[in-house]
Amino acid sequence: DGGITQSPKYLFRKEGQNVTLSCEQNLNHDAMYWYRQDPGQGLRLIYYSQIVNDFQKGDIAEGYSVSREKKESFPLTVTSAQKNPTAFYLCASSTSTGVGEKLFFGSGTQLSVL
Amino acid sequence: GQQLNQSPQSMFIQEGEDVSMNCTSSSIFNTWLWYKQDPGEGPVLLIALYKAGELTSNGRLTAQFGITRKDSFLNISASIPSDVGIYFCAGAFSGGSNYKLTFGKGTLLTVNP
């Protein structure tokens, strides 16, 4: 089955630690995205990538980093510089970043701080 | 930046009732999307709208793209318990080559059997 796989489902971070969230897709989509979701809030864009080896900052990129070395993979690292990392993180992909292209989401990773 | 107001924030209804929720924007959009999110899962696309005035159905769900291009609404008819979840609207506008969706804060729907 085609889809987007995020792992792990739950992740705990110690203070000062960097953690990496995995996102893999087998939909052959060029564009991939990372969103952050806080309770009672809409989704906010962290980073997006239109093509391999290219990515752009979204609205809340500070404290996060990404890479896009392969078309199917777009890992997100939450660095120690992100002071409020507890949130639900969603990865998504689409055929392209053209207006109106539909986003397909993974099932998310809940990150909590120990 | 664009702002989306989604209302109501939450709804508690009885099974079988109809539901209506809406989104209004401070800017013109040329795409409106409606998503549903189950607890602990990612949002799933319900309906996509691309033209002002467009009315589209997906089973018991009906969504409309407002004539002013600044609003959209979603109706659910004859609600059932599995309709429980958070419903998000999202809008996009054409401007440059990059694609960014603006999401509403969601409507939490609870259906009492």
Q: 3-class SS at B81?
A: helix
Chain-chain contact of A104 with B45 (C-beta, under 8 angstroms): yes
Q: What is the pLDDT of residue B25?
A: 92
Burial classification of residue A60, based on how many CB atoms lie within 10 Å of its CB (0-12 exposed, 13-18 middle, 19 or more buried): middle
Strands A19-25 and A10-13 turn out to be: unpaired
Q: In whole angstroms, what is the distance from residue A92 CA to residue A103 CA? A: 6
Which is more confidently placed, A87 or B91?
A87
> Which residue in B32, B36, B41, B99 has the most chain A C-beta atoms within 10 A of its own C-beta, making it the best mutation to test that interface?
B99
Residues B20-67 pLDDT 10s = 999 999 888 888 999 999 988 999 999 999 899 999 999 999 999 999
Question: Which two three-digit tokens encode residue B14?
Answer: 């009885």
Q: What is the pLDDT of residue B29?
A: 87
Q: 3-class SS at A19?
A: strand
Answer whether residue B98 shows pLDDT above 70.
no
Residue of chain B nearest A92, judged by CA positions: B42
Residue of chain B nearest A33, judged by CA positions: B100
Residue of chain A nearest B98, judged by CA positions: A97
Q: What is the pLDDT of residue A34?
A: 96
Contact A22, A7 (CB under 8 A): yes
Q: In whole angstroms, what is the distance from residue B87 CA to residue B107 CA? A: 5
Alpha carbon of A90: minimum distance to chain B alpha carbons (Å): 7
Question: Which two three-digit tokens encode residue A105?
Answer: 């989401």
Q: Which residues of A touch B33 (CB under 8 A)?
A: 102-103
Q: In whole angstroms, what is the distance from residue B6 CA to residue B104 CA? A: 5
Q: Does A85 touch chain B (CB under 8 A)?
A: no
Alpha carbon of B15: minimum distance to chain A alpha carbons (Å): 24
Answer whether residue B97 shows pLDDT above 50.
no
Of A102, A104, A108, the CB nearest to B48: A102
Of A41, A90, A103, the CB nearest to B105: A41
Q: What is the pLDDT of residue B2?
A: 62
Q: What is the pLDDT of residue A6?
A: 97
Residues A50-75 pLDDT 10s = 999 999 999 999 999 999 999 999 99
Q: What is the pLDDT of residue A100?
A: 62
Residues in chain A, pLDDT under 70: 1-2, 97-100
Q: What is the pLDDT of residue B93?
A: 76
Residue of chain A nearest B43, judged by CA positions: A105
